[in-house]
Amino acid sequence: MDRGVLGSAPALDGNKRKRADAKAAYITSMMQGNPKLLLSESPLFDGLTQHQLPFNVTVIGAPPDVQYQARIVLRFADNSETWGVGVARTKKESERVAAVDACRILHEKGLLLSTTKNGGSSSGWGDNPKNTLVTSVAFRDVCCGGNARALPITVRSSGPDHAKVFVAELAVPLRSRNEVYVAVGQGRNKSEAERACCTAACEKLHHEGLLNKPNSQSPVPTVPAAKPTSTKAVQIQQQNEQPAIVGLRDEELAMMEDALQRLHAELQNSVPLMWPSEPVSISSNGVHHQHQMFDGPASSVSREQLATENAMMRLEARKRISSSEFVEQRRARQALPSWMERQKIVDAISGNRVIVLTGETGCGKTTQVPQFVLEDAEMQGMGAEVHIVVTQPRRIAAISVAERVAWERGEAVGKSVGYVIRLESAPPRVRGSILYCTTGILLRRLQVGLTLDCYHQAEQL
């Protein structure tokens, strides 16, 4: 990339430097350093880089006094035009002198700097387009995840201390075209240059269909939410979410089927574990405690009591569906994408021992799917026979999700929805409930010999 020769700052009387207006200082420094880059910022050359400026260079004179004359036309909105002219001994220097002349003409007419460049509006990308850029398809692998790094922006400066110009560059990979686009931005300070550079990168990705503006006011499409607009970003995301296809040989399938049949036979022949009348928990020092924190449907409950609880849960479920007290909760749940797939999810869980359910973040996998299962059992008069356990990776996630689901069911935590984490718990009722816990809690119960059919939470871990 060609760069202009940096000039020195103008001397002031008495060697006393005065800080001029920021915009005037920027123009002065750029006209001395790189006037072609400054000229490309004019709205007259919007969309052109400094290397694409339409200079017309001719040779004047005869050897050995050959000189070059560069001219660039300036066409204004009133259909008038003028020329920026420069003469020098080299072609490059003549273009530079012509750019200085053109910048002087545009500066007099107030058309030198575009309002959308050099620290102005970011064209819908917000005050910090870097936040939008780091989550884009081009930089998601670099800036997100376990090995996240900062955007690879390079910044350099030129000019004197009182009127420095910063130029930022960022290489943007366009994987769909196997190309690399270099976004460039300049400003009076490093932050302003990086912001202009990130704005240029966002505009390029938006033009390629790989990034949407965060505050876009485009009308919402009338197609169903399950069928998003077929953009490049959506297509790439769908390709990344496709499950891996694993091929197995016939002998491997036979071995797996035989192992499953033997496991099924062992489970049928084994004596089922019975829930004790008072749940027992085991502490880290081996002492037994009578402490109910992790419970499931007890097999020792009489049929009459179970039928009574099923009837009460069915009445509560009908009330949540029809009562005006739960209008806000129903509206919040129905706004989630998983609500439209409610019956399909329930049927899939009812007809299979194991299912894998995938969905976008925030679609309702953690909060809605457990409720779908419990509510379906409650409406069929079998709510007391269901106990759902949902694991969460963090303690705060288990608590916040349990509180959210309890609110959606119109009750406090500890009734049909609860949580169990290390050193703290708000367990739900024994039968007909949803329990949120951390993964470590469930693994610890399995390590001490309790199965998923019969488990209790230790008082101390």
pLDDT value of position 41: 78
Residues 408, 409, 413, CA angle at the centre, nearest 5°?
95
What is d(CA 365, CA 355) in angstroms, rounded to the nearest whole number?
Answer: 13
Q: Would you call 287 helix, strand, or coil by DSSP?
A: coil
* 433-438/387-392 β-pairing: parallel
What residues have CB less than 8 Å from 272, skipping those under 6 apart?
299, 453
User: The dihedral of CA 19, 25, 30, 35: what is its sign?
Assistant: negative
Q: Among the listed ranges 30-34, 52-56, 274-278, 389-393, which one has the minimum average pLDDT value?
A: 274-278
CA distance 331 to 324: 11
Structure tokens at 454: 């019969």
Residue, of 68 and 227, whose pLDDT is higher: 68
Contact between 137 and 211 under an 8 Å Cβ cutoff? The reply is yes
Q: What angle do CA 412, 415, 421 make, to 5 degrees?
A: 85
Residue, of 17 and 371, whose pLDDT is higher: 371
Going by pLDDT thresholds of 50, 70 and 90, the confidence category of residue 16 is very low
Highest mean pLDDT pick, 133-147, 288-302, 350-364:
350-364
**Per-residue pLDDT at 119:** 43
Contact 207, 179 (CB under 8 A): no
Place 274 in a pLDDT band, splitting at 50, 70 and 90: very low
For the segment 384-440, what is each residue's pLDDT rounded down to a tens digit? 889 899 999 999 999 999 999 999 999 999 999 999 998 888 999 988 999 999 988
Query: Which domains, and CATH codes, for the chain?
Result: 13-109 (3.30.160.20), 129-207 (3.30.160.20), 275-447 (3.40.50.300)
Per-residue model confidence (pLDDT) at position 212: 79
Sign of CA dihedral 280, 282, 286, 289: negative
The size of the chain, in residues, is: 461
Amino acid identity of residue 27, one-letter, is I
Average of per-residue pLDDT values in the chain: 75
Hey, what long-range contacts does 115-120 have (CB within 8 A, 24 or more apart)?
Answer: 117/41, 117/196, 118/26, 118/41, 118/186, 118/187, 118/188, 118/192, 118/196, 119/187, 119/188, 119/192, 119/195, 119/196
Distance between CA atoms of 266 and 263, rounded to whole angstroms? 5
Confidence of residue 27 (pLDDT cuts 50, 70, 90): confident
Nearest-angstrom CA–CA distance, 26 and 41? 12
pTM strictly above 0.85: no
